[in-house]
Amino acid sequence: MKHLKRISIILAAIILVMGVVTISGMSAQAAADTTEAAAEAAADNTTGMKALAAALAIGIVGAAGAVSMGISIAKSNEGVARQPEAAGKIQTQLMLGLVFIETAIIYALIVAILIVFVM
């Protein structure tokens, strides 16, 4: 489970960095071109890259979050099956963990919205 979290964080960071680098490089290229047709083509390409970066960020982080939620729920069910008297404590810890996982997914959504509308 530790490895899955690390891999999902690393993948999300790589995708976000790739999107930002691509967008900033295309913006610099568009500024260097002086013709209006080249600027329009670069703007269209930049919009597509923004959409691609946002979609990849949400898709990868959402999938990683869903997998990690499934694993944590399965492990909590195993724990309750082994020790039914500890079900209350296990449920509390499970809910806290699920909240943190969902928070990471919501942060990815915010970053994707910022990529599309602000950058």
The CATH number of the domain holding residue 68 is 1.20.20.10
User: In sequence order, which residues have a C-beta less than 8 Å from that of residue 39 and are 6 or more positions away?
Assistant: 30, 33
The domain total for the chain is 1
Scanning the structure block, which residue is given the tokens 């600027």? Answer: 39
The series of mean pLDDT values per 10 residues for the chain, 119 residues long, is 67 66 56 58 72 88 93 95 94 94 92 87
Q: Is the CB of residue 57 less than 8 Å from the CB of residue 12?
A: yes
**Single pTM value for the model:** 0.60
Q: Is 65 exposed, middle or buried (0-12, 13-18, 19+ CB in 10 A)?
A: buried
The residue among 118, 99, 117, 104 whose CA lies nearest residue 57 is 104
Boundaries of domain holding 70: 2-117
